Chains A and B, each alone.
Chain A
Amino acid sequence: MSRSVLTRGAFYAALAVAALVFLVPSFVRPAPAFWPWRQPIRLGLDLQGGTHLLYGVDIDQAVDNTVDRQMQDLERTLREEQIGAASVEREGRTVHLRLANKDKRAQVEALVKDRFPSLVAVPESDVEAGDLAYTLEPREVQRLRDNVQEQALKIIRNRIDQFGVAEPTVQAQGTDEIVVQLPGVQDPQRAKELIGRTALLEFKLVARAGDAGTPDHPGPNVHYLPGKSEKGRRASPVAVERRTLMTGDVLTDAFVSQGAATEGMVVDFVLDARGTKEFGEITSANVGRQLAIVLDGVVESAPVIETPITGGRGLIRGRFDFTEAQDLANVLRNGALPAPLKLIEERTVGPSLGKDSIRKGVLSFVVGSALVIVFMLVYYRGGGVIADGALLLNVLLLVGAFAAFGFTLSLPGIAGIVLTIGMAVDANVLILERIREELRLGKTARAAIEAGYERAWYAIRDSNVTTFCSGLILFQFGSGPVRGFAITLCLGILTSLATGVFGTRVVYDFLTSRRRLATVSV
């Protein structure tokens, strides 16, 4: 026996053993403690049941928000520096400043250059001495675009980790999409509320009765925000001052605690050093007034400031039940989303359908492969036995690769395995038909085998390359389960070539090397 046959045979034996090692945890549960591989094949949501959510990150809105924040900071800075601005307005992404005192123009320009490095001056078309216009620097916009998705991803990941689902996945997709997969979640309403909530916490003063105006004609620098609606009853809107005194980014922690008997659960929050100082100043200056705690544009509560709060702690009373309070504490802890999210796609598969799909997939696999195996046996006899052996090894390697590389097996993926069975024997058919042809020409068994493999190779190579290409295009095009199918298709071609062409060759080389083979059963 030639050395090469031995080495190649050993190689395939090793592959088979490796595949078995990888597959044991998927079929024997739990796998024995000493087993070197622990990870079972990962099942897609369409097989194990669960929820798939696809969110779009509104990056333009994030840029707008940044312009807003810069504008508010600029307004505050001007006030602190005692530079009166007649108006500060935003138009698109440009901030227009009209100064009360035109002589301070140079001072303002220096101030912005110094303290607002991300703002650049825009030449005003309608030049009046007191007018200034600023916009975000293009580089800053680019930085935002690059970072917003990542930030949102991090925040959602933290929120989902604290939501309590086993093995959730939160992944970026493309430049502005985020995929959330929650195995086992059937009714994703709560999860969607948790993920989609911006969780922007703002503290604003409730307007004094005299300044408030009416909801249709609010007073200057006052706007009406909806109050938190209670079960069934809509609360009337609350007049608050436009100015945001503080935002939730100074929070370091938030947790649920039991409120007084009538108020349900409350959410306590803890501020960082800067927040403690700011909150102290705000509460000291406004004792006796109502401070509105605004979450995503809704006034959660508006307690009266009785004494200055300098301890860096506060609480939100919103008549929450426990889950609501828990989710609120969760989002506050993990910070506000830099941009609103839009739910683009929602797919939920119930566990019964998943189980049913697995059963039906396996059934079609068994029936499909039985048909092919029997056909090959009947039609090619000896050659069929070898081809069928290669086919079994092929399936073993293909499924083993799923376990080894951690690919996700979806229902289309199972269909891809079934399809691979039907396609894998193509190479054997081509080789065996060619061997038959050569035998008819009167060649010896050995020469016919030689020629069969050699001549069939071109057609085998070309047909597999084309299918592989369409698999790659499919992978590029698809997502989720369809990708699973594309992976199976491409992987199946590789394992089919390895087993159906090169693997069977080892067997024929072995047979022909032992003795002068006069007959070959094909």
Chain B
Amino acid sequence: MKGDTSTMPTSRPVRGAAEPAPVEHRFFELIPPGTKIDFVGLRFKMLVLSWTLIAIGLAWAYARGINWGIDFAGGTMVHVKFAAPTPIGDVRAALSKPEIGEVLVQDVGRAGNEFQIRVRGAEKGGSGSVADAIRAALREKFGEGTHDVLRVETVGPRVGKDLGRSAALAVLAATLVMGVYIALRFELRFGIGAAIALVHDVLMTIGALAIAHMEFDLTTVAALLTVVGYSVHDTVIVSDRIRENMKKMRRESLATIMNISINETLSRTLITSGTAILVTAALFVLGGPVIHSFAFALLVGFIVGTYSSIYVASPVVLYLEGRQARR
């Protein structure tokens, strides 16, 4: 970056001069101005790539199942940490009791002393809850003070089902609101393009969650909604420029204008998303187990969202334009 100072006036501005002397500007830049990448030309290849990835993700989710958290599956989760490393078999043995039912014990710590115990489905009848039974069983087998119950979650199955529906509805509503807003601010086809890009982002993120076997819980839905709200940022930036350039370059075809606009806004699209991705990466690496899947969904969603505003939203607009022209 030698000599890369902010501005280098080639001559001193003369006091009282009507026009200042032309100034040559040198900035620190990721994408130099005048970059011409043929994004629009690549759109069919990217279309195939995108939807193939989504298909793989969804097929994975279908075949291997999504790792539903207690919020959605219903049941009980107890996260326990032992003072000393404990064989997972001992934990399972302690919990094989009729009042607890079928348990799933998972080793979550790196030191072999942290376990997540899950009992899915409905509560068994009776006075005490499954959570209390698990606590009691652990106390009985290992004794008081040997372990620390970090977290307990119990959710009724009915709630889980209702929650699933309202989560899907919320994500759908957000997508629609975004689409309508963009349609009102710009044009209908931009709105449709934005909405399709958002559906793309959400599906891609869900697929990634399934493949990575990340837990899908309430905070994951929060992440998806945030992705929906934030992915539009880039779409807005690009669409704003397309609209501006359409006024300036009346002679050019929409495809050309789009390519110019995407190239012109490329550095800001990458930087705005980049800072968001930077902080999400910090959350993912350092944020701890409670928000791990939340940060993962945000990270994937933001990355995909940046890509989709270029390769999904704009091609849709172009396609709609083509249809309109043919008619």
Residues of chain A at the chain B interface (Cβ within 8 Å): 46, 186-187, 189, 192, 342-350, 352-353, 356-357, 360-361, 363-364, 367-369, 371-372, 375-376, 378-382, 411-412, 415, 418-419, 421-423, 425-426, 429-430, 433, 436-437, 439-440, 442, 444, 458-459, 462-463, 465-471, 473-474, 476-478, 481-482, 485-486, 489, 516, 518-522
Considering only residues 157-202 of chain B, those with a C-beta below 8 Å from chain A are 158-159, 166-167, 169-170, 173-174, 177-178, 181-182, 185
Q: Which residue of B lies closest to A446 (CB)?
A: B20
Is the beta-carbon distance between A346 and B275 smaller than 8 angstroms?
Answer: no
Q: List the 7 closest pairs (A to B, CB-CB), nearest first.
A: A470-B229, A521-B6, A422-B279, A368-B282, A368-B279, A360-B288, A477-B170
Q: Which residue of B lies closest to A187 (CB)?
A: B135
Is the beta-carbon distance between A379 and B181 smaller than 8 angstroms?
Answer: no
- Extra contacts besides A350-B151, A368-B283, A437-B33 (16): CB < 8 Å: A344-B159, A346-B131, A346-B152, A367-B282, A371-B279, A379-B28, A422-B276, A422-B278, A430-B237, A463-B232, A467-B233, A473-B170, A473-B174, A477-B225, A482-B218, A521-B6
| Any A CB within 8 A of the CB of B87 | no
Residues in B neighbouring A352, C-beta threshold 8 A? 81, 148, 150
| Any A CB within 8 A of the CB of B271 | yes
A433 to chain B, nearest CB (A): 4
Residues of chain B at the chain A interface (Cβ within 8 Å): 6-7, 9, 13, 20, 22-23, 25, 27-28, 30, 33, 79, 81, 128-129, 131-132, 135, 148-156, 158-159, 166-167, 169-170, 173-174, 177-178, 181-182, 185, 218-219, 221-222, 225-226, 228-230, 232-233, 236-237, 240, 264, 267-268, 271-272, 274-280, 282-283, 285-288, 290-291, 294-295, 298
Question: Most B CB atoms within 10 A — which of A363, A411, A433, A458?
Answer: A433
Is the beta-carbon distance between B20 and A412 smaller than 8 angstroms?
Answer: no
- Say whether, besides A412-B219, A466-B229, A372 and B20 are in contact (CB < 8 Å): no
Is the beta-carbon distance between A379 and B271 smaller than 8 angstroms?
Answer: yes
Residues in A neighbouring B283, C-beta threshold 8 A? 364, 368, 415, 418-419
A429 partner, pick from B28, B221, B272, B278, beta carbons under 8 A: B272
Is the beta-carbon distance between B177 and A419 smaller than 8 angstroms?
Answer: no
Alpha-carbon separation in the docked complex, A212 to B150 (Å): 52
Residues in B neighbouring A482, C-beta threshold 8 A? 218-219, 221-222
Is the beta-carbon distance between A469 and B275 smaller than 8 angstroms?
Answer: no
Is the beta-carbon distance between B236 and A462 smaller than 8 angstroms?
Answer: yes
Q: Which residue of A lies closest to B185 (CB)?
A: A462
A350 partner, pick from B13, B150, B277, B288, beta carbons under 8 A: B150
Q: Which residue of B lies closest to A477 (CB)?
A: B170
A411 partner, pick from B6, B225, B291, beta carbons under 8 A: B291
